[in-house]
Structure formats: structure tokens, C-alpha cells
Amino acid sequence: MIGTGLRAFFALAIAIGFGFVGPAQAGATFDKVKQAGTLVCGVNPGLAGFGQPDNQGNYKGLDIDVCKAIAAALFGDPGKVKYVPLTAQQRFTALQSGEIDILSRNTTWTLQRDTELGLNFGPVVYYDGQGFIAPKKLNVKSAKELNGATICVQPGTTTELNLADYFRANKMTFKPLVIEKLDEVVAAYFSGRCDVYTTDRSGLASTRIARAQNPDDHVILPEVISKEPLAPVVRQGDDQWNDVVRWVVYALIEAEEVGITAKNIDEKLKSEDPGIKRMLGVTPGTGKSLGLDDKWAYNAIKAVGNYGEIFERHVGKDSPLKLDRGINALWTQGGLMYAVPIR
Amino acid sequence: MARDTAAAESRPKRPPPWHDPAVRAVVFQILFVAAIVALGAFLVHNTLLNLRRQNIATGFGFLEREAAFEIGESLIPYSPADSYAAAFLVGLTNTLYVAALGIVLATILGALMGLARLSGNWLIRKLAQIYVEIFRNIPLALQLFFWWGVLRWSAPAPGRAWQPLPDVFVSNRGIVFPMPEAHAVHSWLLLALLAGIAAACGLARWARQRQARTGQIFPSGWFGLALIVGLPLAAFVAGGAPLRFEVPALRGFNFVGGGVFSPEFAALLVGLVIYTGAFIAEIVRAGILAVSAGQSEAAMALGLTPWQRMRLILLPQALRVIIPPMTSQYLNLTKNSSLAVIIGFPDLVSIANTTINQTGQAIEGIAMIMAVYLAISLSISLSMNLYNRAVALVER
């Protein structure tokens, strides 16, 4: 029981020690997934809004919909996904060893992960930033007042590093309490063992709503101490697969921009707009370039809706989290969501 | 001469090497070792090849890079600006600290409980039995969560900390207590203590030899104790008795100054000691029961005092039975300390896990964890085996 990372480690050791076929050849994952007929997707075991099983055991969330959209683009069926719940520590080894085909688990895109871990990141699906949550009775108004505080944090996260950086930059000290399991680290915070808990602000909102006995007893401090662009991840050197992931996500964003929703998509098939006709496969071509059916984008959008619908359903105004679109709005509305041309 | 030749001729001819069992044994062993080495080399080579093909960084170069993460508790100075190697060292010292304290305390608890199980008093005997049966049979991980939960939920916040003794505070941040401030004289105390121990050993040796020669008994135990306590005390007084305590005080969120046992450390230590103590109690009980009653009766017949009976007759024989399984328990305790990771104590595994995740170098990290546990375990094993040899039955 030396940490749950061990299981993933052995998977990696066996895959890498005995395996002859690295996924270096282009198309390895793409062919494997097509052949298997299911997409194996690494997800968060329990972060409301991003990846969490509901009371029937079905995974729900923004990251989950990314997996569903890709499965729909590949197979025409969003249900052909096998979800593998992973802790922050297990996630990269699981991807490196080939246990999963794609990691869609609120993962921050950083230089070190992109290069040294042998990974590639898809388009950002949620622009987040790290923050702090504190009990209201602690009477803390700003993160700058946290000198000497005990802070709960999960290991193997950029959060852990940003936290140390922030306190160093502000010449303050703190004591981290580092626990891998989300349940345990959150329980430690609610029991008062830590003064504050830190993670991405979306995660804080999710924790406050879904896990606090009384959400009003806790406040999220105003400071955003880091940039956390959360993106799906694939193995490096697997270009065709990377392309599929990237363009499916762009199709979801583009759909919002041109006003295609899961509801109106069949009417939009009759649209005269050449851009829409190309994207939905009425004018053939885009599918062939990706190695997919021309209906790939149609299937993806039909299955999960456009990016805006996904956002509002899981983390926005139709969800308990009630997060604002903020910088996750379309670029046309002052946000950062921008799909490159699908042509 | 003639007989020798005859003997040589009558001896069967040496068989060809492929039928010679001696040659065959050597050849097979060489082949076996070569196969193992080849398999190992293949695995290492293939691993490196595949890692390179996947563009995953390899090598131990990451150890020199800045760790950039903070560690909750450390016995040695550490800051996020230090290297991964320094962070690893913090984890190692934390592991050694909890294992060393755990071994000492578990031995004491186990010995007491083992003796209690043999007590003539029904209540004591039954209580000890209940202790053993409960704690031996619940998985350690659950016990750790239990103790951690108890400490976390029952203790108050720092602002309302209990104060059982002056300047000692108990809160959900841990037990904070005053610590003597470091002073130059204190290093002399350590030297004096070592000198005292050496002198006490010499005295005991001299007393044994004198007793063997003349039969006169010298109370070397008491004099030795006086030396061990007295010398550092004398050094302390001679140095002007410099003793100032750093007193903890609540400042902001937490207590500042003094020493601290965090709830995680306390839960881990208590969990390990109580769990392992239950096994040790059984080992001690078995060891004492293994000495036949006749030995005890014979000692009584010789007029030895109860203490002499225990120290000279029962204990030496019981230890022969006790030491080998005890070694296993010490090894178990040390390895079980890696469960610290589930309750957030920054032991070796916890810090190595973080390192692995921040650098992505899982194979190197796990290799280091394994090497360190192997080294610790072999050291414990070696010293226990040496001790075992000292108490083993000497056959003449």
C-alpha cells in the first residue's frame, strides 16, 4: 500500500520494460481506439462539475463531455467510453503507460509536463486560476493575510508549486498538509486541521457547494495566484490522435460561435452558410483529413451540445456550481475561447 | 607407494564433464546467473529505449533542480528553494525519526503487555489479551485513520488550545511544547554522555572479570548509571548551567517557537507503536513461556533474588527465542511507516511521490524509495543479527 501511485507505476514499468511497441508511430492510438471500439478516458474520481459519478454511477461533467464528444466523433456514439478514475498522482503514468487513451481530468498545461513527461496538450477547455477557500469565522479577507497558516493541498499538482511560489514571493511562511485523496484532504480542511484549502477556483467552488455542510460558512478569497489552463492530454508523438482531440474540441467551441446547439443542429444541416456546411459534413472533406467520418463534428455536437451548453450544464448557471463564464466566454464576448478555422 | 597406486586405479575413472555432477552444478549456476543478468540488462535497456521513444526524461539529474514545494515538518532546515535531493533527505530523516521512536516505544509497550499477559492478576491478564487481540487484528491503515481522526476532531483550534501544563498547548495543530534553546555547552553534554556510557561499559567489564576471579560482587549497574547521568550533569553545571527555553506562543494562525508533535506524526507514531506492540507482546510472551519452569525453580532453589532470576536465568534464554521474530517486527514497523502517506505525514514515500509527480520520473523515484527501504531494512537486520549472535546459545 505504498501510495496509490504504485499501481500506475507498475503498469508503466511493465509497459515500458517489456513493451516493444512504443506509441511513437503516428496513428498508434488512433488505430487502437478505432479497433477497440471504445475510448479509454482518464477522469477525475470526484470533482463536481468536471468529473464525478452521479448516484447511478454515470460520470458527469465538463471533462466527461470532452470524452463523450470524441467518442461520438469517432464512433457516432457518445456512450462508447470507458472511464478510468485517476488521482492527481496516477494520471500521467496512466497515460504514459497506455492504460488510457486520453486524459481529460482538469489538468494544467505547463512547459515541464509538455516536454519532460512526453505529453501533448489539446486546446484549453477551461481557463482556471488557483485560489483559497477559508472558513468565514476565520475572518480572512485576503490571501496576503495568510502568513503562518496551515494549508491543505493535494500532491502532484501545479497547485502545490504555485502555493510555495506565492508565499515565497510575498515573503510569508506556511505549513502544507499534503494528502493525495481528495476526500481526505477536504475532510482535513473541514475538520479545521488546516486554516485554508487551496486548489483551482473551479475546484474550490465545487468543494464548497458539494461538500461543505453549509456553503455559506466558507468564502473563496479574492486572489487568483496562478494561471491554470485545463486541457485534455495525449501522448507525444501521436499526431493523428492529437489532431482528432484538438479538432473535436475546436468544433465544440466553433459551434457555440456560429449558434449550433444540440437542439437546432438538424435544422442547421440545411443552412446555406458554407462554413457550417463544411463543419457539419454537408460539404464533405474535413472528415477525410482527420481519418474520420464526415459527420464527426455533427455527431460530437449532437451528443453533448456546443461548448457554451456544456459549460452552463455542468459548471455554469444550470449547475449547482453557478460559475460565471468569465474568461471562458467566447472571444467575441471578451473571453478567451477561440476556435481556429475549421476548413 | 604401491598401495597408493592401487587405490588410485581402483577409484572409478573421472566421468566426462557433462556427466560430472560437480561440473554440472557449477555450469548450471553460471547459466542461471547469466540468464538473470541478461534479463535485467534487457529490461533496463528496453526501458530506456522506450522512455526515449516516448520523450520521457530519464536520469537522476532532476535531483539537483529546485524542488519548489514546501514540506510541512522537517528535522533539518529546508525551504522550497532547496533541491529535490534536499527534499528527499527531509523525507528520509522523517522516516528514520518515526521508525526509530516507533521501535523503541513498541518494544517497551510490547514487553510490558507480554509480561502482563503472563501476570497472575486476572484483570491485568485479560486486559492485555483484549489489547493484543483487538489491535493485532485491525488493519493498520484503518487504525491510522482512526487515530488521525480522533486527534483532528477532538482537539480544539489553536485559539482555544488546551494547556495541560504551563507552556504546553494541545490543539488540532499538534502538541506544542517549550524547547531548550541551543547553546555551545550542549554539544559538550553529548560528549559527556558518550564518555559516561563508555566508562559504564568499562566498569561493568571490570566488575565481571573481578567477580569471575574473586567471586565478589560489585554493584556495577548503580555505579554505571551514576556515571551516565552524573558526567553530563557535571559538564552542564561546569558550563554554567545555560538553560533557556524557547516558549511557544500563539501568533496569528498558529503557535510559533518550541517543539511540536503534529497530529499526523502523533497518529502515525501511536498507530505504529500500538499495532506493532501487540505483535511484540505475543513474541515476548512466547519467549518467556519457552523457558522451562524447571529453570525458574532451579534458580529459586539456588536462592537467587527475583531480579537475578529474571536477568541471569530467564531473560538470556528467552531472548534466544525472542530476537529473531522481533527483527521481523522492527522491519515491519519501519516499512509500515510508509503508510504515513495516507494521513499526510511527509515521510520518504510522501515526498518521493510528490517528486515523482512534479518531475515525471517515476522509475527513478521508485528505485530510490526501494533502495532506501532496502538499506534501512538491511541495517536493522544486520544489527539485530549481531545482537542475536551475542545472545545465542554458545555451544562448546
What does the alpha-carbon distance between residue A74 and residue A31 come to, in Å, rounded to a whole number?
11
Q: Is A207 on the interface with B (CB under 8 A)?
A: no
Domains recognised in chain A with CATH numbers: 5-127+230-333 (3.40.190.10), 130-226 (3.40.190.10)
Give the tens place of pLDDT for each residue, B137-183.
999 999 999 999 988 888 888 888 888 888 888 888 888 888 887 77
- Check if the beta carbon of residue B65 is closer than 8 Å to that of residue B364: no
Q: Which of B180, B158, B148, B373 is nearest to B268 (CA)?
A: B148
Looking at every residue in chain B, the average pLDDT score rounds to: 88
Beta bridge partners of A291: none
> What's the rounded mean pLDDT across residues B355-369?
88
Report yes or no: A177 at the B interface, CB cutoff 8 Å.
Answer: yes
Residues composing chain A: 343
Distance, in angstroms, between B231 CA and closest chain A CA?
A: 40
| Cβ–Cβ below 8 Å for A195 and B251 | no
Please give the pLDDT value at position A18: 60
ipTM of model:
0.78
Give tens-digit pLDDT for B67-104: 989 998 899 999 999 999 999 999 999 999 999 999 99
- Does the beta carbon of B250 lie under 8 angstroms from any beta carbon of chain A? no
> Per the CB < 8 Å rule, is A176 touching B51?
no
Residue A87: closest C-alpha in chain B: B357
Helix A239-258 vs helix A307-314: crossing angle, to nearest 10: 80
Question: What pTM value is reported for the model?
Answer: 0.81
* pLDDT per residue as tens digits for the range A71-82: 999 999 999 999
Average pLDDT on A240-262 reads: 96
Contact A89, A219 (CB under 8 A): no
3-class secondary structure per residue, chain B: CHHHHHHHHHCCCCCCHHHCHHHHHHHHHHHHHHHHHHHHHHHHHHHHHHHHHCCCCCCCHHHHCECCCCCCCCCCCCCCCCEHHHHHHHHHHHHHHHHHHHHHHHHHHHHHHHHHHCCCCHHHHHHHHHHHHHHHCCCHHHHHHHHHHHHHHHCCCHHHCEEEECCEEEECCEEEECEECCCHHHHHHHHHHHHHHHHHHHHHHHHHHHHHHHCCCCCHHHHHHHHHHHHHHHHHHHCCCCCCEECCEEECCEEECCEEECHHHHHHHHHHHHHHHHHHHHHHHHHHHHCCHHHHHHHHHCCCCHHHHHHHHHHHHHHHHHHHHHHHHHHHHHHHHHHHHHHCCCCHHHHHHHHHHHHCCHHHHHHHHHHHHHHHHHHHHHHHHHHHHHHCCCCC
Residue in B152, B256, B362 closest to A193 by CB: B152
B306, pLDDT greater than 70: yes
pLDDT digits (tens, 9 = 90+) for A4-36: 455 556 666 666 666 544 444 446 899 999 999
Kindly determine whether residue B252 and residue A149, on different chains, have CB atoms separated by under 8 Å. Answer: yes
Please indicate if any CB of chain A lies within 8 Å of the CB of B358: yes
**Cell 486541521 appears where?**
A193
Task: Look at residue A340 in the predicted model and tell me its pLDDT.
Answer: 94
Contact B252/A148, CB-based, under 8 Å? yes
Q: A112 and B152: CB-CB below 8 Å?
A: no
Lowest mean pLDDT among B6-15, B47-56, B70-79, B358-367: B6-15
How many angstroms away from the CA of A130 is the closest CA of chain B? 15
Q: What is the mean pLDDT of residues A217-237?
A: 93
pLDDT at residue B2 above 80? no
pLDDT band of residue A1 (cuts 50, 70, 90) is very low
Yes or no: say if A281 and A302 are a contact pair by the CB < 8 Å rule. Answer: no
Q: Which residues of chain A have a CB within 8 Å of the CB of B342?
A: 1, 179-181, 184
B214 and B163 Cβ atoms separated by less than 8 Å: no
- The reply to whether residue B359 touches residue A184, judged by beta carbons under 8 angstroms, is no
For residue B8, pLDDT over 80 is answered with no
Contact call for A150 and B253, based on CB within 8 A: yes
| pLDDT tens digits, one per residue of A294-309 | 999 999 999 999 999 9
Residue of B49, B54, B260, B374 to mutate, testing the A interface (most A Cβ within 10 Å of its Cβ) = B54
How many angstroms from the chain centroid is the CA of residue B29? 36
Q: Kindly state which CATH superfamily the domain B84-156+262-391 is placed in.
A: MetI-like (1.10.3720.10)
Is the pLDDT at A52 greater than 60? The verdict is yes
A201-205, B1-5, B84-88: which has the minimum mean pLDDT? B1-5
